Chain A
Amino acid sequence: MTLSVRDLAVGRGGVPLLAGVSFELTAGQALVLRGPNGSGKTTLLRTLAGLQSPLQGTVAGAEERIAYAAHADGLKAALSVAENLQFWAAVFGQREIAPALEAFDLRALAGRRAAMLSAGQKRRLGLARLMVTGRAIWLLDEPTVSLDAASVARFADAVRGHLAGGGMAVMATHIDLEIEAAVLDVTQFQAAAAALVAEDGAFL
């Protein structure tokens, strides 16, 4: 069970941002993406998630196995915390939402409407959603935004638990989560992308 990325070029609106990205992840491993704002971390994650197609190269082993946590949590304000989680659990063919509520300390808030949650609580609910997908590969885009220190620790525990259970994680984050993970600095792939533009003129 591996996620292998070979010679991947990704772009936004047809403009290449990163090129020549290659890495391999096996069960229990995590990868942290680093790079300044706008360097292409989100685009890389969206490509891995299959939401956009790569300009070049291949992603193998991601199909039907990824759970994506974007900037937006996809929560419905009119539904309660438990209803939001139950919906995603049902979509992914799972049943149990109790462990996810427990892991992100949401049990006391289960009956509250998502509209009444604070930004940090919404984020916790968005991350708890990953646990009810039952998917092996977590793709996390700035997962710790608006989380306090205690919640970050809870989240790190959840990721460690996921990895210990044979899962994988690729995350774009700037803070140190104290998780054993390889670090991939995406800025090294920008030069190759610029070369791709120069080579092909109008790359589309």
Chain B
Amino acid sequence: MSADLNAPAQRTDASQAATRASVPTPREPVSPEALAAPAAVAHASDRGARIAAVAIALAWHVVIALPAVLTARAEFAAPAVVLGTWVLVAVTGAVAGVRLLQGSPLPPWPLAALLLVVDAAVFAAAGERQLFAAANWVWGTLGWFFVLAVWGQRVIGLIALLSTHALIALVAVLGHGAEPADVARYVMYVYGTFSLPVAVFVGSTVIVGLARERAAVSAAGHAMAAERDAAERGRQERRDRLALVSSAAGRVLGDLAAGQADPGDPEVQRRCMLAAARLRRLIAESDDVPDPLLHELRAAADLAERSGLPIDLVTIGTPPPLPVEVRRRLADPLTGTLADAREWARLTVVSGPDEVVVSLVTPDREGPEATGPPAGEHVYGPVQYLYERDGNIRWAQTRWRR
């Protein structure tokens, strides 16, 4: 049989065997998606809060402030300034809101500085009579635009902006010759402008944090459940195989004990060897850390074993995550050689963080070369392949170095 014909056939068989044996598919390393899940939940929760903040700011600006400004426009000290700044903030606020919802907010501090300038201008332009009226729109609206400007920053930034706003208002109030009643009104207004924006700002931060935490907890729970399921499947699989292997070993032992089988008979010895090799592999196998390379090699070993070849598969260490191409170059030449093996085979895998060496040793015998590349050393990218026969053994080895 030519190498070209045999190699693909072998691969197909191996993959079918893996399916037939329903060996639990090895778990890939925790996927980035799994890690991103809590972040996605937090993001969704944060988006809700942003929409609310933008809606409050713009609605307040348009529905409450605009009619008041228009009604009282004749009574302002400088109506053009009050109206002009209203338009400026409406446009800037709309842009800032859209950018915030798109996830690319305007730079916070220049925007905040602009708002503070508007603040001072409106207080100066509103005039004494409109100081505490709804027409002095900065009282009601500006706090919400501060929230939009510093969204995602620390709350101390928002408090600093609101304090500056309070300071500007105080200067205005005192500048217009404040009476005791004005001071009392001032305190109430400052309280009103502080409390709601700060509450919304802090509340949304807390909710996002909680959502992130809850999502992380639930993701961890799911991962644990999945792992438990995989372990349970693996255990069931091994239990089934143990039953199979035990019955095969039991039959040989039973025949020997009953005197129906002759220990000198090569066929009986072969059955014993096969049963022992199977038991040994079952004992040595630990799928605690499933790995795709070991999984592939195990499937190939299972296949060889089913066709009656006693095979030892010994693994030391756990391979690091390897690109598919490297994995294929490590496993394929050996699974090809394994198909030609007679009598016995020893398959070993030694893995470290920077090196994985896979080796297959079978007794040498007369006859054609094993399928696969010719004897000698070959280098395929980061994987080295060595094959030799010395009359005693046939030895194929693949080696990957980082």
Partners in one complex: no
